[in-house]
């Protein structure tokens, strides 16, 4: 993990009181194309020219961004800039909001996410999501993890289901802590354990991509560190996109960072570049604490 960069960001926060340069607004108004490298050679997911509307209000403007295999892409930016809205497009969670309309092209392994023949329920198994607040079902630890494999018919007998549950809990770094109480309610776990249970639940249905929307915002620093380590391990197998308010977290866990501002994707670059040598003035203002 990029701990050194994360520490640099902390050290740079003495610039918080500096005024926003007037030219920053001009730079935003003139922004017609994302600065940096929104595409990768081997995309798992590709979003091209995506616009999102809530009724008449446009929340995302012409955003293009790839999520590559074995990479973590961090999405950062001021509150309300559209990070969660964009993330939710990637597994069609926005379908559940009646006023929400999405245009543009989005693909998973080249397949159109919004194609008429694509079942959103199956899509959400392939593109799992972990939310801000851990949300285990009111079921046992075992049944929380077994739920997805059961409804998707991934196990033909109890022994296979047991294997999936144990394997998923191991991958989520939770097994050792719960192996003696798999029948206990998921809600009896600590917040950090509940979040790892939710990650195990996503993993259990063999996802290819994991989306995380501020997964550590309800957790203490120790539980956060466990999840961050886990994200680093999960990257070996999955493509991951994470929305975070913590620039230190983005620096620690991601390989590329995407900076959103008022619904536009301003800059995407390797994380080390974004935090040490941002290309766009708006990114620089944000990471040095001049606004946000
Ligand atoms: N369900 C909704 N209905 C109407 N407008 C919405 C809805 N969800 C989000 N918005 C609006 O879309 C814009 C982007 O919101 P979004 O939650 O995606 O931003 P965000 O960057 O994730 O914010 P935060 O960091 O505060 O979570 C905001 O103006 C918000 O008010």
164-187: pLDDT as tens digits: 999 999 999 999 999 999 999 999
Judged by DSSP in three states, 156 sits in: coil
Neighbouring residues of 190: CB distance < 8 A, sequence distance ≥ 6: 223
Which residue's CA lies nearest to atom 28 of ligand 1? 80
Q: Hey, how many other C-beta atoms are within 10 angstroms of the C-beta on 117?
A: 6
Looking at the chain, which runs of residues are DSSP E strands? 35-36, 43-54, 57-68, 72-76, 100-108, 111-112, 127-130, 209-213, 239-243, 256-261, 264-270
Does 169 contact ligand 1 (Cβ within 6 A)?
A: no
pTM: 0.90
CA of 178 to the centre of ligand 1 (A): 36
Pocket test for ligand 1, best of 53, 76, 83 (most atoms within 8 A of CB): 83
Q: Are strands 127-130 and 209-213 parallel, antiparallel or unpaired?
A: parallel
Pocket test for ligand 1, best of 60, 81, 94 (most atoms within 8 A of CB): 81
d(Cα 152, Cα 149) in Å, to the nearest integer?
Answer: 5
| Predicted complex: ipTM over 0.95 | yes
Does 82 contact ligand 1 (Cβ within 6 A)?
A: yes
Digit-coded pLDDT (tens) for 42-93: 999 999 999 999 999 999 999 999 999 999 999 999 999 999 999 999 999 9
Digit-coded pLDDT (tens) for 224-271: 998 999 999 999 999 999 999 999 999 999 999 999 999 999 999 999
d(Cα 116, Cα 96) in Å, to the nearest integer?
Answer: 16
CA of 105 to the centre of ligand 1 (A): 21
Neighbouring residues of 191: CB distance < 8 A, sequence distance ≥ 6: 134, 218, 219, 220, 223
Structural domains in the chain, sorted by start = 3-137+207-287 (3.40.50.300)
Judged by DSSP in three states, 161 sits in: helix
């Amino acid at each position: 993990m990029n701990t050194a960069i994360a520490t640099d960001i902390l050290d740079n926060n003495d610039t918080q009181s500096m005024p926003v340069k007037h030219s920053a607004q001009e730079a935003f108004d003139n922004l017609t194309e994302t600065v940096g490298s929104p595409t990768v050679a081997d995309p798992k997911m590709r979003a091209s020219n995506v616009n999102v509307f809530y009724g008449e209000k446009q929340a995302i403007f012409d955003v293009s961004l790839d999520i590559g295999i074995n990479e973590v892409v961090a999405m950062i930016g001021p509150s309300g800039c559209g990070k969660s809205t964009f993330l939710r497009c990637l597994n069609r969670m926005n379908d559940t909001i009646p006023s929400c309309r999405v245009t543009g092209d989005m693909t998973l392994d080249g397949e159109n996410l919004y194609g008429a023949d694509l079942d959103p329920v199956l899509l959400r198994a392939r593109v799992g999501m972990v939310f801000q607040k851990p949300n285990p079902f009111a079921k046992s630890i075992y049944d929380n993890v077994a739920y997805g494999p059961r409804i998707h018919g991934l196990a033909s007998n109890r022994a296979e289901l047991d294997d999936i549950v144990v394997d998923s809990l191991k991958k989520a770094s939770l097994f050792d802590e719960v192996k003696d109480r798999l029948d206990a309610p998921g809600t009896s776990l600590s917040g950090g354990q509940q979040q790892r249970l939710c990650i195990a639940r996503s993993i259990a249905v063999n996802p290819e991509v994991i989306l995380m929307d501020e997964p550590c915002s309800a957790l203490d620093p120790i539980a956060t560190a466990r999840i961050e380590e886990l994200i680093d391990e999960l990257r070996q197998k999955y493509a991951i996109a994470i929305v975070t308010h913590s620039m230190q977290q983005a620096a620690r866990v991601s390989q590329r960072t995407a900076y959103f501002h008022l619904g536009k994707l301003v800059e995407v670059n390797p994380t080390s570049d974004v935090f040490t040598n941002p290309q766009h003035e708006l990114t620089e203002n944000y990471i040095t604490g001049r606004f946000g």
